[in-house]
């Protein structure tokens, strides 16, 4: 078979797949050079930069550069790997080369523009910039003025383009000297499939089944400060990863800050005069643990015969501070992390996937670090799974303990992580080495689809009508063994335990929970050894209440921002918030209000009308008015503070000053 030679003028001729890799590596190298440029143009925003810190940022940035390179050059890659002979035609090669140049010229133009625009936004540009400037009538003139005023950034872009132009021209490829068409097409198809596999893994940021496609929040794993996140990222990646995400926008239900704050403010200014109590704090977040599974919450199900699948947790709830109407703020594991640790719920889009995931926040870890606590996060999954290590780093935890630190694959379930029983034992043993006071959070993994059990327990836990039930029994057993071990350790009696779930399970057997409130019903309770909390109280509690409640229990006396309430000390009426099917849900008293952002659509007495059949929207106008007013204040405080990067007391003070 005769194949045409490549076009002339190229000095390095190699195999087509090697040429593909070399071209992509060249683009990656230019992204690294751009990162240095971004830093040099904005050094004042990255104070006290050190070589080790920069090296960590540069290494982490490669992950995001690879994803951006693969996504933006997907057409170039396809044209290079499709197994047809025309790939070796001179004109075809020139077209492919022009695709490479044009696509990356645009990508680097966008990236370089952020060298300047970052000074005004202090974050990488996302697709929200489109809505921000869509009504500008003189956008063309503004763009020309930008190019004129910041000519030195334009020169940097031209420099990058020149390197791409001359570098890519030196990379050529030769046609294979093959006589067998069967071998040519067969090997070409195999190479294409391998290339697609590698493309997917590189673009997603990993090949593991537990790895979500990397997003903006994953950059926190390589950042010492929130600002560093913007160095780790590149702008094409930020644009592509937010292209399909809903954009949080400011709202103005209330015309003044004073009027808004009277209804709801997340800024907490404790007035506690009692001395700070340095108790240890341990938060256990249980994977997919619906309240449906816990017998203590469901004594009226099946005529009182329903026992659930958590005998140990049932006994613990009996002596804990527990609440009948306990609700998650989201439906995903990644919703739970900011809700529990930072008292930040998710609205419309998970906070960690939003354009604002790099905002400066306060968290239990960062606030207790100020009180000389040691802080650590535990998750038995492979390090990097779900981006938890990145979020833990952003939240201020001193250390992260994952599958890597556990260092014993004999206890790996083969999919999600280390089985709960051994990992909880490891958790207890590690805490026994920590200097008190300490704050730790552990996230379990075993009650996750496909709901497998360790081989030795296959016949021990029988479960119920759903497969998840036996893994719930297993994790409950693992918790019992954990508390038995922990109770013998010197730190146990000086510890406040918080037990909750990340979200409710998708496996529903009790049909009362197949509802707009049931989808968010999870356990949330507080246990302190030696204290009898009195069991279930008929109150509402939500995940974002955990942080302020813990701080209140410890008599923390510094300002902080939290969207929940201290359930022990806050005199405001209990409430809960979540978002479902493009509707805001607000729980208060006996009622659930559903609101679409403009008007209230339904009101249910959810405690008695469990299937939400009777809409009271027209029957209780005063209740609707009061609840919708509270909800609007909550939404405005969330959206506006998120957009303004105003999620700390310092940001609140700045906002007040700007509005004066």
Domains with residue ranges and CATH for the chain = 12-241 (no CATH), 257-275+572-660 (3.30.1120.10), 287-438+453-535 (3.40.720.10)
Euclidean distance between CA atoms 491 and 481, whole angstroms: 17
Q: What 3-state DSSP class applies to 594?
A: strand
Q: Edge to edge, what strands does the sheet with 321-327 contain?
A: 399-401, 374-379, 438-443, 280-286, 495-501, 524-527, 321-327, 535-542
Q: Is 122 exposed, middle or buried (0-12, 13-18, 19+ CB in 10 A)?
A: middle
Q: How many CB atoms lie within 10 A of CB 528?
A: 17
Q: How many CB atoms lie within 10 A of CB 492?
A: 19
Determine the pLDDT at residue 195: 83
Q: Is 78 exposed, middle or buried (0-12, 13-18, 19+ CB in 10 A)?
A: middle
Please say whether the beta carbons of 313 and 476 come within 8 A: yes
Please say whether the beta carbons of 217 and 387 come within 8 A: yes
Q: H or E element: which one contains 162?
A: helix 151-169
Residues 6+ apart with CB under 8 A from 584: 347, 577, 594, 595, 596, 597, 631, 635
Q: H or E element: which one contains 628?
A: helix 621-643
List of the chain residues with pLDDT < 50: 1-10, 132-133, 135-137, 654, 657-660
> Closest by alpha carbon to 293, among 303, 307, 308, 314?
308
Determine the pLDDT at residue 322: 97
Determine the pLDDT at residue 448: 86
Determine the pLDDT at residue 249: 85
Residues 6+ apart with CB under 8 A from 530: 493
Cα angle 23, 25, 29 (rounded to 5 degrees) comes to 120
Can you name the residues that pair with 327 across neighbouring β-strands? 521, 542
Residues 6+ apart with CB under 8 A from 551: 268, 270, 364, 367, 560, 562, 566
Reading the block at residue 330, the tokens are 């989201």
Euclidean distance between CA atoms 356 and 345, whole angstroms: 13
Can you name the residues that pair with 603 across neighbouring β-strands? 593
Determine the pLDDT at residue 10: 44
> Closest by alpha carbon to 202, among 330, 62, 308?
62
pLDDT tens per residue across span 629-651: 999 999 999 999 999 999 999 86
Euclidean distance between CA atoms 657 and 660, whole angstroms: 5
Determine the pLDDT at residue 284: 98
């Amino acid at each position: 078979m005769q194949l045409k030679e490549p076009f002339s003028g190229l000095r390095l001729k190699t195999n087509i797949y090697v040429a593909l890799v070399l071209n992509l590596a060249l683009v990656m190298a230019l992204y690294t050079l751009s990162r240095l440029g971004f830093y040099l143009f904005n050094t004042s925003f990255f104070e006290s930069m050190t070589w080790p810190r920069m090296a960590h940022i540069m290494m982490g940035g490669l992950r995001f550069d690879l994803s951006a390179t693969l996504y933006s050059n997907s057409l170039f890659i396809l044209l290079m790997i499709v197994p047809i002979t025309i790939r070796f035609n001179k004109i075809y090669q020139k077209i492919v080369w022009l695709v490479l140049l044009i696509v990356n010229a645009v990508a680097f133009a966008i990236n370089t523009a952020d060298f300047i625009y970052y000074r005004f936004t202090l974050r990488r540009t996302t697709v929200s910039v489109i809505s921000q400037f869509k009504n500008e009538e003189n956008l063309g003139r503004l763009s020309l003025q930008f190019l004129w005023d910041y000519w030195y950034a334009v020169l940097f872009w031209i420099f990058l383009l020149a390197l791409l132009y001359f570098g890519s021209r030196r990379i050529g490829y030769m046609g294979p000297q093959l006589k067998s068409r069967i071998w040519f097409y067969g090997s070409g198809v195999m190479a294409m499939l391998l290339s697609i596999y590698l493309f997917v893994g590189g673009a997603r940021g990993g090949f593991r089944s537990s790895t979500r496609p990397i997003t903006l929040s994953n950059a926190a794993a390589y950042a010492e400060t929130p600002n560093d996140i913007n160095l780790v990222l590149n702008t094409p990646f930020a644009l592509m990863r937010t292209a399909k995400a809903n954009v949080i926008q400011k709202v103005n239900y209330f015309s003044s800050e004073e009027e808004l704050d009277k209804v709801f403010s997340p800024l907490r200014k404790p007035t506690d005069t009692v001395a700070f109590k340095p108790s240890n704090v341990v938060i256990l977040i249980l994977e997919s643990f619906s309240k449906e599974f816990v017998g203590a919450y469901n004594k009226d199900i099946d005529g009182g015969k329903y026992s659930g699948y958590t005998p140990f947790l049932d006994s613990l709830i009996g002596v804990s501070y527990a609440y009948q109407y306990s609700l998650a703020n989201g439906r995903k594991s990644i919703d739970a992390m900011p809700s529990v640790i930072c008292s930040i719920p998710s609205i419309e889009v998970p906070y960690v996937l939003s354009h604002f995931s790099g905002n400066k926040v306060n968290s239990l870890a960062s606030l207790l670090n100020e009180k000389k606590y040691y802080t650590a996060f535990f998750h038995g999954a492979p390090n990097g799974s779900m981006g938890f290590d990145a979020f833990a780093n952003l939240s201020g935890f001193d250390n992260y303990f994952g599958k890597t630190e556990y260092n014993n694959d004999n206890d790996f379930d083969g999919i999600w992580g280390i089985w709960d029983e051994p990992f909880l034992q490891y958790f207890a043993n590690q805490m026994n080495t920590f200097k008190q006071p300490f704050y730790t959070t552990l996230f379990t993994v075993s009650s996750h689809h496909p709901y497998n059990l360790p081989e030795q327990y296959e016949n021990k836990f029988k479960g119920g009508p759903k497969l998840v039930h036996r893994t719930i029994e297993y994790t409950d057993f693992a918790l019992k063994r954990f508390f038995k071990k922990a109770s013998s350790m010197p730190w146990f009696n000086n510890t406040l335990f918080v037990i909750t779930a990340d979200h409710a399970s998708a496996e529903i057997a009790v049909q009362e929970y197949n509802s707009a409130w049931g989808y968010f019903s999870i356990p949330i309770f507080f246990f302190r050894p030696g204290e009898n909390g009195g069991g279930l109280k008929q109150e509402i509690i939500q995940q974002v209440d955990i942080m302020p409640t813990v701080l209140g229990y410890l008599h923390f006396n510094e300002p902080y921002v939290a969207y929940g309430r201290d359930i022990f000390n806050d005199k405001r009426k209990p409430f809960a918030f979540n978002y479902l099917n493009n509707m805001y849900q607000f729980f208060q008293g006996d009622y659930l209000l559903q609101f679409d952002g403009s008007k209230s659509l339904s009101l249910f007495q959810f405690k008695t009308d469990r299937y939400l059949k009777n809409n009271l929207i027209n029957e209780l106008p005063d209740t609707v008015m009061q609840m919708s007013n509270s909800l609007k204040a909550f939404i405005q405080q969330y959206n506006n503070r998120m957009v303004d990067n105003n999620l700390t007391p310092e940001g609140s003070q700045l906002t007040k000053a700007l509005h004066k």
